[in-house]
């Protein structure tokens, strides 16, 4: 660890955090940030001088356990710690990631949790820190590693961070409107790559569909994304051990494109030298793509150098009237077949882990909950793989009923894990 005191700020290099993404009831940090302590705040920066996390010990902050995070595409997230025991049983983490773009009344009474006065005050303190660093750089000549780092911090104010996010989206040629739910296991710290755009679904409830249909990116486009991201992140790339392949139905891109991207990215991002233990590849798949997927595809995935490959399938319901109500193209028979195939793949492969989603909502036809209950209760062999994620639709009006239905499904699943799905994006 290397510590510098410059005027009233403290800069700490090489103070490594956790390497394994374990979940704790205290505000642990992961990876290798550069830390600045100033006015009872601890700011964690990446090696590009961009703020990533903020811890606060000042009196205005409700609890020192809450953390403010910023994604690489510039969304602020409040890692909320209230009701942490219930939170863990709901989402497999003691911290609920709250955003302004996706409201979950189960975890917050604020529709825009990031608009709370203490958050605004913390962000203003971040602005003041940037100003203070700029002042220090004018009055003092600071050489070496710390001087170089503070120069980077000084240019990364909130406006510059917005532009950097746009730059990342430009590299990708789009964005990931939703991350696969299994990415909660690495606190959503993933490097995004787009191997396909859109999906062929027309689901009425979906906020993430693009009307332009489904398209696979070519290898040239994928290679240029990988090269540009590796150049952009430089040394910071070591803070990642996970890649997510976008967009909504990356599984439909097929074995060749998935393998090409995964191998190329693994090598170019130096995943084997990551600060974190193990490595992960995440993607979404539609029911149709999953049912069509052959043994060859799963063998290709199993042979990749990543420790774990997570594929999340949007089953949504096992009840025909509900699927029709939702505008899904899959039938209840296909959903049941996909759920059964999920169990087989999870049993038959070591690295490949298939999870799935079902929706919850106040207006869904009667019989929906019972159909999911029956399906998840049919699994009798205990396994830690194959999590069932429950995704409350945005218009669910009763948090109490959603919670009740969620716990009902969790109780029905005697052999498989069931958790809530909170939307996060990049
Ligand atoms: S739910 Fe999935 S398949 Fe349906 S429109 Fe949305 S992204 Fe496409």
Q: Are residues 93 and 186 in the same domain?
A: no
Write down the pLDDT at residue 320. 98
Q: Are residues 223 and 92 in the same domain?
A: no
* Tens digit of each residue's pLDDT (9 = 90 or more) over 198-226: 887 778 888 777 667 899 999 999 999 99
Q: Are strands 2-6 and 308-316 parallel, antiparallel or unpaired?
A: unpaired
Residue 426 falls within a domain, yes or no? no
Which ligand 1 atom is the nearest neighbour of the CA of 316?
A: 1
Q: Are residues 125 and 206 in the same domain?
A: no
Write down the pLDDT at residue 107. 83
**Which of 177, 198, 199 to mutate to test ligand 1, by most ligand atoms within 8 A of the CB atom?**
199
Q: What's the domain range around 86?
A: 2-161
Q: 126 — phi, psi (to 5°)? A: -60, -45
Q: Are residues 82 and 107 in the same domain?
A: yes
Residue 357 falls within a domain, yes or no? yes
* Tens digit of each residue's pLDDT (9 = 90 or more) over 105-159: 888 878 899 999 999 999 999 999 999 999 999 999 999 999 999 999 999 999 9
* Tens digit of each residue's pLDDT (9 = 90 or more) over 304-343: 999 999 999 999 999 999 999 999 999 999 999 999 999 9
Query: How far are the Cα atoms of 86, 103, 230, 251, 301 from residue 311, in angstroms, in the given order?
Result: 26, 25, 24, 8, 10
Q: Where a domain ends, among 128, 161, 194?
A: 161
Residue 167 falls within a domain, yes or no? no
DSSP notation for 27-78: ---BS--EEEEETTEEEEE-TTS-EEEEEE-STTSS-TT-EEEE-TT--EEE
CA atoms within 13 A on the CB side of 49: 18
Q: Are residues 217 and 257 in the same domain?
A: yes
Q: Where a domain ends, among 105, 131, 161?
A: 161
Which of helix, strand or coil describes residue 397? coil
* Tens digit of each residue's pLDDT (9 = 90 or more) over 242-275: 999 999 999 999 999 999 999 999 999 999 999 9
Ligand 1 center from residue 408 Cα (angstroms): 26
Residue 166 falls within a domain, yes or no? no
Q: Are residues 34 and 154 in the same domain?
A: yes
Q: Are strands 2-6 and 9-13 parallel, antiparallel or unpaired?
A: antiparallel
Residue 97 falls within a domain, yes or no? yes
Global pTM reads 0.96
Ligand 1 center from residue 263 Cα (angstroms): 27
Ligand 1, atom 1, lies closest to the CA of 206
Write down the pLDDT at residue 210. 67
Q: Are residues 150 and 211 in the same domain?
A: no
Q: Are residues 314 and 222 in the same domain?
A: yes
pLDDT grade for 395, boundaries at 50, 70 and 90: low
Instruction: Match 């403290």 to its residue by tokens.
Output: 10
Q: What residues are in contact with ligand 1 under a 6 Å CB criterion? A: 199, 201, 203, 206, 208-209, 248, 286, 314
Q: Where a domain ends, among 161, 194, 215?
A: 161
Q: Are residues 286 and 409 in the same domain?
A: yes
Q: Tell whether the model's pLDDT for residue 397 goes beyond 80.
A: no
Residue 425 falls within a domain, yes or no? no
> Mean of the per-residue pLDDT values for the chain?
94
Residue 356 falls within a domain, yes or no? yes
CA-nearest of 397, 387, 375 to 184 is 387
Q: Are residues 177 and 235 in the same domain?
A: yes
Write down the pLDDT at residue 86. 86
Q: Are residues 188 and 122 in the same domain?
A: no
Say how many domains are in the chain: 2
Q: Is 143 exposed, middle or buried (0-12, 13-18, 19+ CB in 10 A)?
A: exposed
Q: Are residues 246 and 317 in the same domain?
A: yes
Residue 319 is part of a domain; what is its CATH number?
A: 3.80.30.20
């Amino acid at each position: 660890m290397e510590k510098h005191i410059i005027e009233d700020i403290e800069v700490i290099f090489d103070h490594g955090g956790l390497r394994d993404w374990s979940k704790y009831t205290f505000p642990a940090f992961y990876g290798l940030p550069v830390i600045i302590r100033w006015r009872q705040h601890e700011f964690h920066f990446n090696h590009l001088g961009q703020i990533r996390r903020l811890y606060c010990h000042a009196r205005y902050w409700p609890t020192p356990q809450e953390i403010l995070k910023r994604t690489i595409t510039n969304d602020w997230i409040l890692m909320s710690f209230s009701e942490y025991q219930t939170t863990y049983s709901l989402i497999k983490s003691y911290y609920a990631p709250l955003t302004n773009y996706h409201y979950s009344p189960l975890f917050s009474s604020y529709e825009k949790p990031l608009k709370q006065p203490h958050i605004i005050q913390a962000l203003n303190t971040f602005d003041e820190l940037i100003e203070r660093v700029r002042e220090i750089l004018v009055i003092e000549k600071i050489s070496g590693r710390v001087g170089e780092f503070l120069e980077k911090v000084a240019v990364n104010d909130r406006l510059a961070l917005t532009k950097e996010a746009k730059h990342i989206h430009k590299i990708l040629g789009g964005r990931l409107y939703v991350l696969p739910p299994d990415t909660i296991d690495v606190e959503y710290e993933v490097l995004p790559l787009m191997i396909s755009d859109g999906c062929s679904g027309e689901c009425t409830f979906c906020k993430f569909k693009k009307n332009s249909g489904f398209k696979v990116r070519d290898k040239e486009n994928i290679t240029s994304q990988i090269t540009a991201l590796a150049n952009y992140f430089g040394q910071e790339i070591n803070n990642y051990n996970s890649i997510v392949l976008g967009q909504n139905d990356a599984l439909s891109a097929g074995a060749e494109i998935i393998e090409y991207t995964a191998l190329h990215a693994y090598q170019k991002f130096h995943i084997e030298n990551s600060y974190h233990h193990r490595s992960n590849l995440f993607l979404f798949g539609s029911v149709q793509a999953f049912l069509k997927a052959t043994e060859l595809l799963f063998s290709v995935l199993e042979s990749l150098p990543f420790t774990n490959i997570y594929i999340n399938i949007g089953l949504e319901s096992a009840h025909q009237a509900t699927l029709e109500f939702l505008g899904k193209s899959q039938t209840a028979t296909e959903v049941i077949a996909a759920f059964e195939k999920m169990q087989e793949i999870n049993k038959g492969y070591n690295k490949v882990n298939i999870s799935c989603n079902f929706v919850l909502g106040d207006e869904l036809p009667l019989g929906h909950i019972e159909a999911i209950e029956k399906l998840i209760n049919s699994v009798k062999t205990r396994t830690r793989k194959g999590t069932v994620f429950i995704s409350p639709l945005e218009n669910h009006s009763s948090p109490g009923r959603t919670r009740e239905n969620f716990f009902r499904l969790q109780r029905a699943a005697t052999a498989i894990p069931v958790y809530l799905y909170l939307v996060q994006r990049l």
